[in-house]
Chains A and B, each alone.
Chain A
Amino acid sequence: MAGGQERILRQRIKSVNNTRKITKAMELIAASQIGRSQARIVANRLYHDGMRRIILEAALGDPAGAKSLLAEPERVTAAVVVVIAGDRGLSGAYNSSVLRAGERLVIQRRSQGTAVRLIVVGKKAPGFFRFRGIDVAASFTGFSDRPTFSDAREVAAAAAAPFIDGEVQEVVLVSTAFLSAATQSVTTRRLLPLTLPEAPAVSEPTGLKGYTEFEPEVEKLLTYLAPRALESEIFTALLEGAASFHTSQQRAMAAASDNADELSLTLTRIMNRARQDSITTEIMEIVGGAEALRARK
């Protein structure tokens, strides 16, 4: 029995320490990615805001033509739902919370009699939905850590095509909004028909509403603008999703490293006690043996 338990404990401590090395490395890598993905959100903001301004301008310039793209659909018989999750796990509740929100939305729409075409981003998504018996119409993987604009284009094209063809009346996005480094929250919002960025009664410096010229005429412009707007919205969502993923992975891995530290400390204490016990037992045996020999003399 001597040392047996001690050896087992030593092995466990070693394995906990190895796990800690991995979680610590993942934590540091995720932390280094947070800054970069945040910078990309900032870099994209100018384009995103500019796109929204153009759409607002075009919508105000042609209220009649904008109706088909902006008006509330009378009856939604079919909708596209885009869910943006991550490719990798070990990121706390990041994937599961956005996926569960997506599942809730699909179930809610279906109960209202709306057919749902599901488009998902991230390796974690298709399995989740298939396991729950929800068909996935299209899935995109491999870029959730570092999405590029052409990735967003592909997703947007898949989402916009049925809307433009009139097969669906609505495109809804479920994604994680990166509000700040400390807060991220799952949001569900409608992408098409377009929702106007702000109330039209904004007192912006572009005060000459209604006097804007359009080239080509505004009806044509709006038709082509809608898919571009969708690309911009989806790209923003992908970037925010990536930043949220890294933040949430960093947090999860920091917690895992802390747990490993604690576990390793506890196990070390138990091991030391076991070692002392075995030493004590050994001394007792030796002393007992020596006593027995002397007594026989």
Chain B
Amino acid sequence: MATLRVEVVTPERALWSGLAIALMARSSEGEFTILPEHTPTVGDIVPEVLRVATDEGEIRFAVHGGYFQVGPDREDNVTLATVLAGVAELTTEIDVERAQAAKEAAEATLSALSSNPDDHAGAALARAALARAELRLRAASARRDVVQ
């Protein structure tokens, strides 16, 4: 039977790798699912919760943007899906309090900046920080309904 191997890789470390049933994520074109024997594909991943279905249940990641490549692995009958992300974490590793604090700090910065519309760079930074914090919180709250 064909199998799927998933690798989630960041520049700092290989986050996760193993056999899976399916990989679900979102690209700039919309949601997609990768199953074994998927046709070779290269694409992007927008910041969203990425889910990997395995025999032991679902593993979730907060992926802050990246790319993926699907292709045949070295072994026969194995499809390799590699996810490359600059920043990504397992939802179980997310520090909810820190993310909450980061979200509040970013919101405070944004509201302080609203009186100063010229600071585009500062606003963009704050918005990016806010988006990251919100994704982390969303990913962390999603982990409760994971089948252990």
Residues of A whose CB lies within 8 Å of any CB of B are 40, 43-44, 46-48, 50-51, 53-54, 57-58, 61, 148-150, 152-153, 205-208, 211-216, 218, 220-221, 224-225, 228, 231-232, 235
Are A53 and B69 within 8 A (Cβ)? yes
**Which B residues lie at the A interface, using CB under 8 A?**
7, 9-14, 27-29, 32, 39-44, 67, 69, 71-74, 82, 84, 86-87
A228 near B11 with CB under 8 A, answer: no
Q: In the complex, A54 Cα to B27 Cα: how many Å? A: 15
CA distance A218 to B41 in the complex (A): 11
Contact at B9–A46, with CB atoms within 8 Å?
yes
Contact A213/B72 with A44-B11, A47-B84 known, Cβ cut-off 8 Å: no
- B41 contacts across to A, CB distance below 8 A: 212-215
- Complex contact B42–A212 (CB within 8 A): yes
Q: Would you list 12 pairs from A and B whose C-beta atoms are within 8 A, ordered by A residue?
A: A47-B9, A47-B10, A51-B67, A57-B69, A61-B42, A213-B42, A214-B43, A215-B28, A215-B41, A216-B27, A216-B44, A235-B11
Q: Contacts A205-B74, A228-B86 given; indicate if A211 touches B39 (C-beta within 8 A).
A: yes
Consensus secondary structure, chain A interface: helix
Nearest chain B CB to A183 CB, angstrom units: 24
- Contact yes or no, B42 A216, CB < 8 A: no
Would you call A208 and B40 a contact (CB within 8 A)?
yes
Chain A residues whose CB sits within 8 angstroms of the CB of B32 once the complex forms: 215
A205–B40 alpha-carbon span in the complex (Å): 11
Q: Which A residues are CB-close (under 8 A) to B67?
A: 51, 54, 225, 228
Contacts of A205 in B (CB 8 A): 71-74
Smallest beta-carbon distance B9→chain A, Å: 5
Complexed CA–CA distance, A169 and B13 (Å): 33
Complex contact B44–A149 (CB within 8 A)? no
How far does the alpha carbon of A74 sit from the alpha carbon of B14 in the complex, in Å?
A: 40
Task: Answer whether A214 and B11 are a contact pair too, CB < 8 Å, given A54-B84, A205-B74, A228-B86.
Answer: no
B contact residues around A50 at 8 Å (CB): 7, 9, 69, 82, 84
